[in-house]
Structure 1
Amino acid sequence: MTTATRDTPTKAHINHASDDRPAPSAQPGDIRRIFRLFGEHKGRLALVGLLIVASSLISLASPFLLRNILDVTLPGRDTRGTVVLAIGMIVVAVSTTVLSVVQSRQSTLVGQGVMHRLRTAVYTHLQKLSLGFYTRTRTGEVQSRIANDIGGMQAAVTNTATTIVSSGTTVVATFVAMFALNWKLTLVSLVLVPLFVWISRRVGGMRRRIATNRQERMADMSSMVAESLSVSGILLTKTMGRTEELTRRFSTASEELADLEVRSAMTGRWRQSSIGIIIAILPAAIYLAAAFTVSGTTGAVSIGTLVAFTTLQGQLFRPMMQLLSTGVDVQTSLAMFRRVFDYLDLPVDVAEPDRPTRMANPKGALSFEHITFTYPGAATTTLDDVDLRIEPGQHVAVVGATGSGKTSLGYLGARLYEPDQGTVTLDGVPLGELTQVDLAGAIGIVSQETYLLHATIAENLRFAKPDASQPELEAAARAAQIHDLIAGLPEGYETVVGERGYRFSGGEKQRLAIARIILRNPQVLILDEATSALDTRTEAKVTDAIARLSRHRTTLTIAHRLSTVRDADVIVVMDHGRIVERGRHDELLARDGAYASLLARDAVLV
C-alpha cells in the first residue's frame, strides 16, 4: 500500500467545483423539486389563485360594458344607462386594482417563504458536509451559491407562479370572450400564436446558457474578492507586490461579467421586438377584416363589437406575452436552481446517526481500531491499519516527519472525516453513533491555525458556551494566562478582535483559543501542533496554559517540537501512515530507533 506525502489534501486532491464541471443544465426532476418547495404554502397559494381568477374574470366585464355603451346607450341617447355602465367600468377598475394589491402581497409572502426555506436548507446542508468538501471548494464559490444564485432566483420564485396563473386565466377567459363576440376575428388574431411560442422558446434556451456562464463568473469574482481582500490576502498581495496584477485580473473578470449581462439583456431582443410589432399591427388587421362586413348587411360587425374585440385582443396578447416572457425567465432561473440543487445533492460523508447514543459524562477513553484512511480524490493512503488506545486521563503524543499522518489521526479523532476502514470509539462507543453536539462537548481541539470571529473577545469566548457568565469568561482567561492582557485593553472583554483576530499576536490568539476550550470543558483534548508557529518565549506561556488545560483530561498531542512531548505518558512515532514505535521518552531513546533519529536530527515536525 502506498502512502500519502502530506497530512492534509494537497492541491492535486482539490477539485474546484466551478473549474472543471460542465455548466449545469436542468434535470427532469428539477421542476418537481421546485413545486415541492411551495408545498407548505398550499392554503395561501389557493387564496392567491382565487384572487387571480376573480380579478381576471372581473376585468373581462369592461369590454362588454363598453360595447353596450357604444352600440346601445349612446346611439339611443340613454343617459341613465350610460351612467350605470360607466359606473360599472369604474367599479371593475377599482375591484381589479384592490384584488391585484392583495394578491401581490400574498404571492410575495409565499415567494419569500420559499426563498427563506431554500437558503436555510442550503446553509444547513453545507454545515453537515465534512471538512473534505471545504478543502476542495473555494469559499467564494460557496458564498456565490447562497447569495448570487438564490438571490437571482428571487424574482422568479416570487412572481413566476402568480404570473403563470394570472396570465393563463386571463388568456383562456379572454379567448372565450373573443370567440363569443366574433369567432372569425378570433381566428385572425390567433393565427400567429405558434410563431410567438417558437420565438420565445429559442430565446429562453439562449438565455439559460448565458445565465449559467454569468453565475459562474459571479462565483469567480466572489472567490477573488474573498481571497484577495481578506487580511491574509491583503498582506500577501502587498508583500508580493501583486496589487496591479490582481486589479487587472479583477477588471478582466468584471468586464467578462458585464459582457454577459449585455448579452443576456439583448439575447432575442430583435426576435421579441418583432412580436411586439406584429401585436401592434394586429388591430389594423382586425379593422381591415371588419371593413368587409361593416358596410354589409349579413354578418356585419358593429362599432361597439369591434372596439370591444380590439380591447379584448389587447388583453389577450398582453398576458400571452407575459407568459412567454415568464417562460424565458423560468428557463434562465432553472440554471440557478440546478446550481443550488447541486449543493443540496452533495452526499453527507459524516452524517448524524439515526438513533444516537447519548453520552452525558464521558470518561475519555479514545480508541483508534485498525484505521485506514485516504483523502477523497487522493490516489495514496494516508493512514494504514493504525491501532491506538488512549486511556482516560492519559497524555499520548504523536510525532513523525511531514506526511506521516499525524494531523489526519487528529481529524479522525474529532470525526472531521470518516475512516475508510476501522472504527474510532469514545468509551467504547463508535463516534458515528454520537451526535455532533455530544461529540463537540466531549472532544475539543486546539489547532495551530486559530480562528477568531470578527467580534468582541467575549463573543469569541462565548462561541464555546453561549450562556457563560462574565466571571466564567474571566476564570477561563486566567487559566489560559490571557486575562491580564484583556483587562489592560481600553474596552476589556468588549474589544473587537478584528478579521481572523489580526489585532492579536499568534501566542495571544492561541491563549484565547485555549480559554475558549476551557469554557467548553471537554473530557478529551486534541492538540494539533498548537505551539508550532510560536517563538520560544511565547511557546512557554502557551505550553503552561495547555498544561493547565490538559490536567485531568485525556490528551492527544500532535507534536511539532519534541521538547513539548518529553513528559507525555506515551509517545507514538508515525512513519508513512503507520505506527512504528511507541513508549515513553527514555524508553524510545534507549531503543535508538525512529524517535532517537528524529531527536538527533532536531527535525522540524509538521
Structure 2
Amino acid sequence: MSMHGGGGQRGSGRGGRVSRSDVAAQREENKAAPPIPDLFKRIVALFAPHKVALSFTVTLVLISAAITVIPPLLIEQAFNQGLFPPSGIPNMPLLLRLVGTMVMIWITSAALGVLQTYLTESVGNKVMGALRIRLFSHLQAMELAFFTKTKTGVIQSRLQNDVGGVASVLSNTVSSILGNTVTVIAAFIAMLILSWQLTVVAVIMLPLMVFAQRKVGQVRARIATKTQESLSEMSAITQEALSVSGILLAKSFSQQKAEVARYDAENHVQMDLQVRQAMSGQWFFATVQIFLSSIPAVIYVMSGYLILGSVPVTIGTVVAFTTVQARLLFPMMGLLRVALDLQTSQSLFARIFQYLDLSPAIIDAPNARAVSPAALGRVEFVGVDFRYPDTEARSRLTLKNISFVVEPGQYAAFVGPSGSGKTTISYLIPRMYEASKGHIMFAGENVTDLQQDSLVDHIGVVSQETYLFHATIADNLRYAKPDATDAELEAAARAANIHKTIVSFPDGYDTMVGERGYRLSGGEKQRIAIARVLLKDPAVLVLDEATSALDTVSERIVQKALDVAARNRTTIAIAHRLSTVINADVIFVIDGGEIVDRGTHVELMGRDGVYARLVAEQIRMTTA
C-alpha cells in the first residue's frame, strides 16, 4: 500500500458535533459547580515553595518603598532652605546636595525595581508552570470514563486559557500589592509629616472608592466566568472542526460553511464578552482618576484657607505635599486594578481547582503490589457485572455475571452481535473501568490488589482505531519502549510484517506519519501498532476488533502479523470477523451482556446456536 493511501481506516475524532444544548449544558455545569472552600488559602499555598525568593522580594519592595518617602521631604527643604531661604538668597551648595541626593535615591529605586520585577516574574511563572503540570498530571490519572463524557476542547481550555488567564495576574500581583501598598503607606506617612490637615482632605474619598471597586470586581468576575466558558467552547469547536477527522467529515457532507457559522457565532459571543469585560469598571477608573487628579487643586484652595486661618503652611510644604499626592495616583490605581484582577482571577482559579479536586475513580490500593510472575498470562473473570458510570443511556447492565478463565499461552476469542459487551471486556482486563460486581483476576490476583502500572506493563492492546502521534515512525514505535535500539525497532517491524514497507519510504523510520497517522493506510497503521506492542512484549495481548475496519487484502496481511504477535503469549481477541478466530483455543459467545456459549469453532458449529447463526450470516453477506 502507498504511504499516501490513507483510506484503510475510518476517521474517529472523539466527540461529535457540538449542539447549542451541549453548550448550555456545559454552562449550567459550571454554574452548578460546588464552591471551592478556602480558595484564597489554596492560592497562597501555591507560593509556599518560593518563600526565600518572596522574602527577598518583600525586602526589596520595603527598601524601595521606604526610600520613596525621602524625596518629598527633600523637596520641601529644597524650596524652603535652598531656593527660598529666610535670607532671600538661594543656597546653591545646599540645593545641589539635596538635588544630588534625590537623583541617587531615584537611581537606586529604579535598580531595585528592575531586580524586583525579575524576581516576581520568575516566581509567578514558576507557580503557573507548576500548576499547569499539576493539572496535566492529575488529568492523566483520571479514569477513562472522565474523558468519554468531557469534550477535549474543554479540557484544553482549562490547561491553556484558565491557567494562562491567571498567569499574568499572579506574576504581577506580588510586586503590585507589596510595592503599591508600601508606597501608599510611605506616601501617607510623608503627607502626615508635611500637613495632617491637607492629608485628611486628600484621603476623605478613599473608602467610597474601595466600596465601588468591590462592586465592579463582582461584575467583572461574573463576566470572566462567562468568557472562559466561551473560550472553552471555541477550543472544543476548533479541536473538532480542524482535526483531520473533523475536516474529512465536513468536506464529505459539504458542511464547511456550517462549521464556519458555528465558530462565528461563538466568536461573536466571545467578542461581546471581551468588550464587556474591558469596559466594566472603566467609568469607575475614570472617576478615580478625575478625583485623584483634582486633589492638587483642592489642596491649593485648602492651603489658602489654612494660611488665612494662621496655620503655618509654606510654599515648600504645598509643593512637597502635591508631589507626594501625585505619587499616590499610580500606586492607588495599581492597587485598585490588582484588586479587580484578583476578584476576576478567583473564578479562573475556581475552575482550575474544580478539576484538581476531582478524585480518580480507579486508584492503587494502599498495599497494592506488582504482578507476580508465578501465573503470568492467566486471566479470569468471576461473576462480573458491569454498568457504565454516569450515563443514563447505559443504566442497564452491559455485562451480567461474566465468568471465564483464559490460561497462560491460550488463544481466546470473544464473539457476539454488535453491542453485546465484547469491547467492554477488553476495557476491564487492564482496569480502564472498575467492575460493578465480581472479581477480575490477573496472574492469580485480583486486579484491585495490583499496581496499575505493573498491570498495564504486562498487557498489550491493539484496537480497531489505531492512534499514532504526529511524529516519526521510530518515535511512535519507541512509545512502547523509549530506550529501544534501532535493531529492536527493526526486529519488531519485521515480526509485524511492516519493515519492508517502512524502508520503501524516502525517510524510512524517520518518516512523519501525520496527525493520527493519516499519511499511512489503515493496514500500515495497524501493523505499526502491532510492532509497537511486540516491542513492549506483554504477557497478555488484547486484540479489540483489530482487523474489522480493513479491506480483505489488508486484513490478510495484518492477520499474519497478529498471528506472529500471538505466539507464546495469552491472546484475547474481540472479534467481528469470525473467520479470524476459527483456530482459537476457546471461543466465548456473548449475547445481551452474557456468555451464552463457549467452546471451539467445531464444537460451537455443531450446537447450531448463536455462534452458528453469526457464521451463517457473515457467509451470506460475503457471498451476496
Note the C-alpha offset of 1:272.
Answer: 1.8
Q: Deviations over 1:30-56 (max 9, x none)?
A: 111111100100111101111001100
Matches within 5 A, 1:189-204: 189-204=202-217
Partner of 2:480: 464
Question: 2: distance between equivalents of 1:131 and 1:10?
Answer: 18
Partner of 1:148: 161
Partner of 1:4: none
Partner of 1:306: 318
Q: What secondary structure, in the 3-state scheme, does the structure 2 residue paired with 1:21 have?
A: helix
CA pair 25-399 structure 1, distance change in 2 beyond 3 A: closer
Q: Deviations over 1:199-244 (max 9, x none)?
A: 2111111111111111111111111111111111111111100011
Note the C-alpha offset of 1:10.
Answer: 11
Question: 1: distance between equivalents of 2:124 and 2:54?
Answer: 10
1:70 paired with 2:79, answer yes
Question: 2: distance between equivalents of 1:420 and 1:10?
Answer: 28
Note the C-alpha offset of 1:558.
Answer: 0.5
| Counterpart pick for 1:548 among 554, 558, 564 | 564
| Counterpart pick for 1:120 among 133, 138, 148 | 133
| Matched positions, count | 596
Question: 2: distance between equivalents of 1:86 and 1:242?
Answer: 72
User: In angstroms, what is the RMSD of aligned CA positions?
Assistant: 2.1
Checking the alignment, whether the CA contact within 8 Å between 1:167 and 1:322 is kept in structure 2 is: yes
Partner of 2:29: 21
CA pair 338-586 structure 1, distance change in 2 beyond 3 A: same
Checking the alignment, whether the CA contact within 8 Å between 2:220 and 2:344 is kept in structure 1 is: yes
Matches within 5 A, 1:165-314: 165-295=178-308, 298-314=310-326
Checking the alignment, whether the CA contact within 8 Å between 1:560 and 1:604 is kept in structure 2 is: no
Q: Percent identity between the aligned chains?
A: 43
Partner of 1:5: none
Which stretch has the larger CA shift, 37-46 or 313-322? Answer: 313-322
Partner of 2:525: 509
Note the C-alpha offset of 1:26.
Answer: 6.0
Checking the alignment, whether the CA contact within 8 Å between 1:67 and 1:307 is kept in structure 2 is: yes
Q: Give the unaligned 5+ runs of structure 2.
A: 1-13
| Counterpart pick for 1:428 among 444, 448, 466 | 444
Matches within 5 A, 1:316-465: 316-359=328-371, 361=373, 363-378=376-391, 379-465=395-481
One-letter code aligned to 2:173: T
Question: 2: distance between equivalents of 1:42 and 1:492?
Answer: 51
Q: What secondary structure, in the 3-state scheme, does the structure 1 residue paired with 2:572 have?
A: strand
Which stretch has the larger CA shift, 183-192 or 416-425? Answer: 416-425
| Counterpart pick for 1:585 among 586, 590, 601 | 601
Which stretch has the larger CA shift, 573-582 or 504-513? Answer: 573-582
CA pair 603-228 structure 1, distance change in 2 beyond 3 A: farther
Partner of 2:60: 51
CA pair 471-315 structure 1, distance change in 2 beyond 3 A: same
Matches within 5 A, 1:491-530: 491-530=507-546
Q: What secondary structure, in the 3-state scheme, does the structure 2 residue paired with 1:581 have?
A: strand
Which stretch has the larger CA shift, 428-437 or 568-577? Answer: 428-437
Question: 1: distance between equivalents of 2:59 and 2:35?
Answer: 31
Checking the alignment, whether the CA contact within 8 Å between 1:25 and 1:335 is kept in structure 2 is: no
Q: Give the unaligned 5+ runs of structure 1.
A: 1-7
Note the C-alpha offset of 1:15.
Answer: 7.9
Q: Deviations over 1:104-158 (max 9, x none)?
A: 1111111011011100001000100111111111111111111111111111110
Return the TM-score normalized by structure 1. Answer: 0.95
Q: Deviations over 1:391-426 (max 9, x none)?
A: 111111111112211101100111111112222221
Q: What secondary structure, in the 3-state scheme, does the structure 1 residue paired with 2:595 have?
A: strand
Question: 1: distance between equivalents of 2:397 and 2:296?
Answer: 75
Question: 2: distance between equivalents of 1:587 and 1:163?
Answer: 79
Which stretch has the larger CA shift, 443-452 or 148-157? Answer: 148-157
| Counterpart pick for 1:538 among 554, 557, 565 | 554
Question: 2: distance between equivalents of 1:33 and 1:92?
Answer: 38
CA pair 203-25 structure 1, distance change in 2 beyond 3 A: farther
Question: 2: distance between equivalents of 1:45 and 1:183?
Answer: 34
Checking the alignment, whether the CA contact within 8 Å between 2:36 and 2:354 is kept in structure 1 is: no
Note the C-alpha offset of 1:438.
Answer: 1.8
Q: Deviations over 1:323-346 (max 9, x none)?
A: 111111011111111111111111
CA pair 284-604 structure 1, distance change in 2 beyond 3 A: farther
Return the TM-score normalized by structure 2. Answer: 0.92
Question: 2: distance between equivalents of 1:524 and 1:15?
Answer: 39
